Amino acid sequence: GAVVSQHPSRVICKSGTSVKIECRSLDFQATTMFWYRQFPKKSLMLMATSNEGSKATYEQGVEKDKFLINHASLTLSTLTVTSAHPEDSSFYICSANGQGQETQYFGPGTRLLVL
Amino acid sequence: AQSVTQLDSHVSVSEGTPVLLRCNYSSSYSPSLFWYVQHPNKGLQLLLKYTSAATLVKGINGFEAEFKKSETSFHLTKPSAHMSDAAEYFCVGSSASKIIFGSGTRLSIRP
């Protein structure tokens, strides 16, 4: 149980375009989902926390207009990187936990390359 | 301030020998603590978690960790390393709705 999927697993896009990444909890209802960014050989950096049906809470330094997060249902959150630039290239990972649960279950990650 | 510190950025052991990955935490509250493993270009997989039920926690793949409040430590151990254990390991703390990642320890296994 407690499986989180991400789609796509890998995406290449041109500079200036927008990219949407989906995060789904497959066998549980995720009241809270988290979006992380990971640079090579580095730890995960929390970007934002989203609760179903409400606005995401962004960490300091993360541009909310650039990284749009939608958590429209208890099993789906999306991260849209708007007007992507090469410096947005990174590994994006989502995680989710159920109501009252502290354990986070992570998706397999999405590798974004912006040309 | 709450923090999670992984004392070693890189640990290298020979196959078949014990593994010790160190993690210390500081928190105003009794934290929940987790160890996750990440293989290259993959997401994080939960190895084990401590949530105050028992100080010695057994996880998957033969790993275990002991919560020592007096030392504020939650070190990860395995009696005998396997080549497939080579990966990045993260110690993670959770308290008061905050999630804090350690910086990670890369485990290498020598044949």
Read off the pLDDT of each residue in A25-39 and give the average, rounded to a whole number. 91
Distance CA A49, CA A57 (A): 5
Bridge partners, residue B109, by sequence: B13
Interface test with A, best of B3, B41, B44, B95 (most A CBs within 10 A): B44
CA closest to A107 among chain B residues: B43
Query: How many cross-chain Cβ pairs, A to B, lie less than 8 Å apart?
Result: 46
Interface test with B, best of A4, A44, A105, A110 (most B CBs within 10 A): A44
- Which helix or strand (DSSP H or E) is residue B37 part of? strand B32-38
Q: Which residues of A touch B87 (CB under 8 A)?
A: none
Q: Do A44 and B101 touch (CB under 8 A)?
A: yes
Instruction: Determine the pLDDT at residue B1.
Output: 64
Residues in chain A: 115
How far is the alpha carbon of A79 from chain B, nearest alpha carbon, in Å? 16
3-class SS letters over chain A: CCCEEEECCEEEECCCCCEEEEEEECCCCCCEEEEEEECCCCCEEEEEEEECCCCCEECCCCCCCCEEEEEEECCEEEEEECCCCHHHCEEEEEEEECCCCCCCEECCCEEEEEC
Residues 84-103 on B with a CB inside 8 Å of A are 90, 92, 94, 99, 101-103
Q: Which residues of chain B have pLDDT under 50?
A: none
A70-114: pLDDT as tens digits: 988 899 999 999 999 999 999 999 999 887 777 889 999 999 999
Instruction: Determine the pLDDT at residue A52.
Output: 82
Distance CA A83, CA B54 (A): 48
The per-residue pLDDT of chain A, averaged, comes to: 91
Q: What percentage of chain A has pLDDT greater than the value 70?
A: 99
Does A40 reach chain B within 8 Å, measured CB to CB? no
Is A50 within 8 Å of A56 (Cβ atoms)? yes
Distance CA B96, CA B90 (A): 20
Instruction: Determine the pLDDT at residue A102.
Output: 78
Q: What percentage of chain A has pLDDT greater than the value 90?
A: 70
Asked if residue A37 has pLDDT above 90, the reply is: yes
Q: 3-class DSSP state for residue B69?
A: helix
Instruction: Determine the pLDDT at residue B96.
Output: 65
Residues B18-43 as b or e (16 or more Cβ within 10 Å = b)? ebebbbbbebeeebbbbbbbbeeebb
